[in-house]
Structure 1
Amino acid sequence: MEPFRIGHTIKDLRRFYKISQQELAEGICTQAMISRIENDDLYPSAPLLYQIAEKLGVDINYFFNVSETPRLDYAQEVCLQIRRLVRHTKYKEAMEMIHLEKRNPLFQKGQFQQFLLWQEGICYFYKTKDKERCFSLLEEALCLKNTAKDHLAENEIEILTSKAIILCDLNLYIEAIDIFNESLTLLKAIPHTQSSKLEVRILYNMSRAYHLNKQYIRSIETATKGIFLCLKEESMYLLGELYYQKGESLYHKKEVELALKCLDQSLWIFKQIKNEAFYHYVKKERDEMSNVM
């Protein structure tokens, strides 16, 4: 392989894992040396390349067989497809894809392996109701913490969030709320996040957990934080769900007029984004609420 190809591949992997040059260099060499390698000004020695490969979660042969190894764009597409299947509750299809990719060398180390374990854990719970296997896989995924960082990365906080959501589905609301709070604290410690979506998702699910635990004031406060964040970021991600959740908790606090206003906001959002299933669900709930006035 030509030198430029190794530098290009190192940069590609480093950026995918969201690792800075300084973090990659830590304990190995200087940041300047990593920069020179990535800019094709320096060809790394075998021991140095081995250490870089280990930190990036790939075998050293990856750099020399990149033409025969699945590329990052392929791996990213696989992750997107699995996420899509899980999001649409197609757990059987997702499991089949996960088990297939487990044989792929690119998914046998690092963040890709962590991703498969995480999604497999989710599928095990919702497909088989095997909570022990589910939590075992999630813990295994968390143990594959990126060695280049001293704190949890966003994807690892997502795994914690998934665990809390499953605990909530098991009616273990207090345990779920504790993890949601931990996730928010860890997220705040990250200097730069890719987007506000993860924080919004945590706030929505925590508001739901508070509601199910009959802590309606906490549910309203948490949903309000999520709504404020969405409006601040000019994002409609989970905004309809947040208004709905706030309305549900307001209704249980006998604040029927305010609850109806929240549900009206929720209906407007679901109509704009053409989410017919949620629109009709909220419409039914609103009609039942208005009948008690």
Structure 2
Amino acid sequence: MSLVGYNFGEILQSSRTFKGLNPAELAEGICSEAEIIQFEKEEKYPTIDQLYKMALKLDVELNHFFDFASTDTYNYAIAVTELIKKYKRERDYAAINEIIQKEQDNPLFKHTSFSQFLLWHEGISTYYLEEDKERSLGLLSKALSMTNKADTDLTEREIEILTSIAIVEKDSGNLDKAVEVFLSALNNLASLPQVQDSSIWLRILYGLAQALSKLERYEESLIYCSKGIDNCIYEENMYLFGELHYQTGMNFIKLGKLEKGKGYLEKAITIFGLQKNEKFASLVETEMEKLLKYC
């Protein structure tokens, strides 16, 4: 996202002044005071996350910062979708839901692509916030059928939605169905001539490995863990790299190969440490102690 050409600095400064905040007050919890000054002089531009937090503090909508008279509003919709993706990676479903509620009546999001995107993420957040599986799957299926009623020859976006359906099935305990849907998503993805976002492979492979492990099909799970780790290395992508090592380690321990399993769990802890994900590193350490204790 670029804010160049939006008169952003002038809009930010006037909004801050109107709210009665000085640069330090606006910066608190978001960035440094120096950065606010740089933003207002347009020497530097904020990330979409910083922009969203400033909008909340200033009590304005995110689109307040965009000069509609001079620039295509399409960029605003793109900025919102990127923010939703960020919160999805962070598993902040409440933030996703808040954005959807604000934007679903926005005319910009009546375009099929953006409307589908909101519906898809409403389906995801509905499951994790309300634990309403039926409504969640209904929303996800509706999002998929917006562009593909036959469920054949799926596009990359449609495969992502199908993967979300598989994840909901997995997380709700319907494991056999989850494996079936993950394999369908994997086969559809393999048939595409080119995949723009390599992370889709990883989401499918990791979800499939998780479901197979829960079904105690550890050898099969290891196959998909290995494919995921190889994909991370080939694509130089750290996304789910730690999680795949954890899943591999857990599988080996369940198969009675304790030392091999422990080695992968230790690698997972190292990876999470490098990613500064102390929460996951701590969880793996705790889980490793439990797994090894009863083996």
TM-score by length of 1: 0.72
Contact 2:87/2:93 (<8 A) preserved: yes
Q: Which one of the candidate residues 224, 243, 255 is aligned to 2:257?
A: 255
Q: Which residue of 2 aligns with 1:200?
A: 202
Change (3 A) 1:135 1:270: same
In structure 2, give the amino acid aligned to 1:123.
S
- 1:146 shift after superposition: 6.8
Identity of aligned residues (%): 37
Does the alignment pair 1:270 with 2:272?
A: yes
- 1:288 shift after superposition: 3.8
Contact 1:160/1:183 (<8 A) preserved: yes
Instruction: Report the Cα distance in structure 2 between the residues aligned to 1:125 and 1:285, rounded to whole angstroms.
Output: 26
- 1:260 shift after superposition: 0.7
- 1:68 shift after superposition: 8.5
- 1:67 shift after superposition: 4.6
Aligned length: 226
Change (3 A) 1:146 1:216: closer
Change (3 A) 1:195 1:86: closer
Instruction: Report the Cα distance in structure 2 between the residues aligned to 1:107 and 1:68, rounded to whole angstroms.
Output: 20
Q: Which residue of 1 aligns with 2:94?
A: 92
Instruction: Report the Cα distance in structure 2 between the residues aligned to 1:104 and 1:69, rounded to whole angstroms.
Output: 17
Question: What SS class does the counterpart of residue 195 from structure 1 fall into?
Answer: coil
Change (3 A) 1:258 1:71: same
In structure 1, give the amino acid aligned to 2:131.
K
Q: Which one of the candidate residues 161, 167, 170 is aligned to 2:169?
A: 167
Instruction: Report the Cα distance in structure 2 between the residues aligned to 1:140 and 1:292, rounded to whole angstroms.
Output: 45
Could you give the per-residue CA deviations for residues 154-197 of structure 1, whole angstroms, max 9, x where no partner exists? 11111110110110111100100011100011111111111321
In structure 2, give the amino acid aligned to 1:152.
L
Structure 1: unaligned runs, 5 residues or longer: 1-65
Output the aligned Cα RMSD.
2.1
Q: Which residue of 2 aligns with 1:81?
A: 83
Q: Which residue of 2 aligns with 1:245?
A: 247
- 1:153 shift after superposition: 1.6
Instruction: Report the Cα distance in structure 2 between the residues aligned to 1:101 and 1:178, rounded to whole angstroms.
Output: 34
Moved more, 239-248 or 93-102: 93-102
Contact 2:133/2:172 (<8 A) preserved: no
Equivalences for residues 172-251 of structure 1 within 5 A: 172-251=174-253
TM-score by length of 2: 0.71
Instruction: Report the Cα distance in structure 2 between the residues aligned to 1:167 and 1:292, rounded to whole angstroms.
Output: 29
Instruction: Report the Cα distance in structure 1 between the residues aligned to 2:274 and 2:92, rounded to whole angstroms.
Output: 26
Equivalences for residues 22-33 of structure 1 within 5 A: none
Contact 2:116/2:143 (<8 A) preserved: yes
Could you give the per-residue CA deviations for residues 259-283 of structure 1, whole angstroms, max 9, x where no partner exists? 0111121112111111101111112
